[in-house]
Amino acid sequence: MSKSIDSVNWFFVPYDQLNHDIFPWADSNRDNNGLIFIESSKKGNSKNFHKQKLALLLSNMRHFSKEAESLGHPIIYKSTTLGYSEVLEDLYEQIGSIKVVKPAERELRFELEPLGKAGKIQFLEHDGWLTKRSWFLESVGDKPPFRMDRFYQRVRKETGILMEQGKPTGGKYSFDSENRFPWKGDPETQKELEFEVDEIDNEVMDLVNEKFSSHPGKCDLSKVPTTLEQNIDSLNWALGNLPHFGRYEDAMSTKSRYLFHSKLATSINLHRLSPREVIDSALSAQAPLNSLEGFFRQMIWREYVRHIHEVTDGFRALEVFDKDSGEPNFLNQNNPLPETYWGKKSGFNCLDDVVESVMDEGWTHHIPRLMILSNFANLLDINPRELTTWFHEAFIDAYDWVVEPNVLGMGTYSLGDAMMTKPYISGTPYINKMSDYCKTCKFDPKKNCMVSNLYWAFIERHKSAFEGNIRMAMPLRSLAKRSDEKKEQDKLSFEYILSTLSRDDEVMIQS
Ligand SMILES: Cc1cc2nc3c(=O)[nH]c(=O)nc-3n(C[C@H](O)[C@H](O)[C@H](O)COP(=O)(O)OP(=O)(O)OC[C@H]3O[C@@H](n4cnc5c(N)ncnc54)[C@H](O)[C@@H]3O)c2cc1C
Ligand code: SF4
């Protein structure tokens, strides 16, 4: 460290602000701006985080600090069993006031708040977001129902992205109807990137395997980017997927976990790649409009859920919270999450295949998250908070501000219609149409698969909660026409599956 410690502006850099260019430390001479990093095993152990997630975070942070050092930043790097605030309080005594870009995670903001109030740390605005809170408040408001369309159109108009003379390019704001095709193996997918593992990666993997040995999953840093160059390689790889991203956005396959998705949330949420550079690169790529629009909309979903989380203080400001449990649980779903979600085979090929990819690499794309993992949890009346915690722990791109709205507000109906007009649920035909899971399943989708029974049993159990909901009118009408015999079968299937999975057994074909 060339400068005296007193003449340096010290910034605490949380684990998800790993960007050299968009935060205030990039503003003036880098050697005036010291960066503080904290590896806290208290945080690592605060949840049952997947080993791959711990390794991804630690290795990116270690690489980032080395890159920052070579750019000229003075560095303080602490490894501790304490929490962030305890370390920062101690550092304050040595170096004086510390600056922090307002953390994205509520949990960290909450932890640091007392230090801010005591004047020991100073919060700065976070320039990593693309949209202003005022756009959200003016187009959506601070009370439910929250609807994405109004916000999305406002963002398009404000930014002029995919707009021509004030009108959306191609004549409409969404090309969703062109983006729902199953994938039959053609066009071919790209080979997944394999990253070179360096000394830092190896040290981190050893650390995770030793200190977090009881945590689920395994770590393999050849599967995720950890250096800046590797993160940029990921972006270039993702651009290669973009031409087919739109058409096959909703498809699922046993042959390719990612199909044409970008796998970039991991890098973006850590800010290794800024949302701005990802969008700029995507918009200048050669890809059809339905792909470009679909990708841009997904990136705006990211902004949208973050605004909702912040405006509602992680939903705590909403009346949808159950007064007794303090948790959102509109449908009063209270069954525990079965071990299936941690890798115990259920017998359902769709669910087991997706869980395998989560256990393997802490990732699966949007539709398996929504239409398999959340769908099964919904149909089995799993407690929404338990499911959210599982997503938070198991996924390498999960942070409170993004995982909570996605699971509580979209994956489940725990917030009622605060974010979605109806629950995202499906029976066997949807899974059979959009994937190839059924082809290698012991159940026959046309004869003895019980997922549709679960679907009808769910609607029957919760029909009073859906009364008056126009979007649920059709399923309710179909339910009314369903014979008593079939309804009894639905109920028996639900009870059998729930009890079987809660005993950690595999579901079998019922004669
Ligand atoms: C139940 C459930 C849980 C989810 N949990 C997370 C999570 O913990 N972290 C997370 O980043 N995303 C989460 N998502 C959103 C989305 O599934 C992932 O962002 C996406 O699958 C990541 O893969 P990708 O990078 O290939 O995304 P792509 O399909 O390539 O999409 C491009 C980018 O758009 C953004 N994006 C797309 N959809 C969303 C969304 N709904 N919310 C926020 N950003 C979005 C991501 O940054 C993503 O990288 C969740 C969705 C559901 C239904
Ligand atoms: S047959 Fe049923 S259980 Fe099997 S993969 Fe298809 S939907 Fe899933």
pLDDT of 131 over the 70 cut? yes
- Cα distances from 439 to residues 32, 301, 364, in angstroms, run 61, 33, 20
Q: Find the mean pLDDT for residues 203-226.
A: 98
Angle between helices 51-71 and 199-211 (to 10 degrees): 140
What is the per-residue pLDDT for 5?
A: 64
Closest by Cα among 272, 206, 287 to 235 = 272
Name the residue with the closest Cα to ligand 1, atom 30.
262
The DSSP element (H or E) to which 376 belongs, if any, is: helix 375-379
Name the residue with the closest Cα to ligand 2, atom 2.
449
pLDDT of 119 over the 50 cut? yes
Q: Is 80 helix (H, G, I), strand (E, B) or coil?
A: strand
What is the per-residue pLDDT for 416?
A: 94
- Please, which pLDDT band fits residue 318 given cuts at 50, 70 and 90? confident
Ligand 1 is surrounded, with C-beta below 6 A, by 261-265, 268-269, 295, 298-299, 301-302, 305, 365-366, 369-370, 374, 391, 395, 397-398, 402-403, 406-407, 410-411
CATH of 5-124, one of 3.40.50.150, 3.40.50.620, 3.40.228.10, 3.60.20.10: 3.40.50.620
One-character DSSP codes across 44-99: HTTTT--HHHHHHHHHHHHHHHHHHHHHT--EEEEEESS-HHHHHHHHHHHH--EE
All CATH 3.40.50.620 domain ranges of the chain, comma separated, are 5-124
Ligand 2 centroid – CA 348 distance (Å) = 6
Is domain 133-311 in CATH 1.25.40.80, yes or no? yes
- Please, which pLDDT band fits residue 393 given cuts at 50, 70 and 90? very high
The DSSP element (H or E) to which 9 belongs, if any, is: strand 9-12
What is the per-residue pLDDT for 1?
A: 46
Give exposure, 130-164, as e/b (b: 16+ Cβ within 10 Å). Answer: bbeeebbeebbeeebebbbeebbebbbbeeebbee
Closest by Cα among 8, 26, 7, 4 to 101 = 26
Q: Please, which contacts does 471-474 make with residues 24 or more away whose CB atoms are closer than 8 Å? A: 471/421, 471/422, 472/422
All CATH 1.10.579.10 domain ranges of the chain, comma separated, are 339-502
Is residue 429 within 8 Å of 298, Cβ to Cβ? no
All CATH 1.25.40.80 domain ranges of the chain, comma separated, are 133-311
Cα separation, 449 vs 497, whole angstroms: 12
The model's pLDDT over 132-165, given as tens digits with 9 standing for 90+, comes to 999 999 999 999 999 999 999 999 999 999 999 9
The model's pLDDT over 270-300, given as tens digits with 9 standing for 90+, comes to 999 999 999 999 999 989 999 999 999 999 9
Task: Tell me which ligand sits closest to the C-alpha of residue 453.
Answer: 2
Q: Which fold has domain 339-502?
A: DNA Cyclobutane Dipyrimidine Photolyase, subunit A; domain 3 (1.10.579)
Q: What is the residue type of 335?
A: N
Ligand 2 centroid – CA 268 distance (Å) = 33
Phi first, then psi, for residue 244 (nearest 5°) are -105, 0
Ligand 1 centroid – CA 194 distance (Å) = 22
Tracing tokens 């066997």 back to the chain, one arrives at 428
- Please, which pLDDT band fits residue 324 given cuts at 50, 70 and 90? confident
One-character DSSP codes across 107-159: HHHHHHHHHHHTTSEEEE--TT-SS-HHHHHHHT-SSSPP-HHHHHHHHHHHH
What is the per-residue pLDDT for 347?
A: 98
E strand intervals along 340-495: none
- Please, which pLDDT band fits residue 2 given cuts at 50, 70 and 90? very low
Structure tokens at 187: 């066009």
Ligand 1 centroid – CA 366 distance (Å) = 6
- Asked if the bond preceding 145 is cis, omega within 30° of 0, the reply is yes
Nearest ligand 2 atom to alpha carbon 347: 3
What is the per-residue pLDDT for 3?
A: 58
Residue 441, ligand 2, Cβ within 6 A: yes
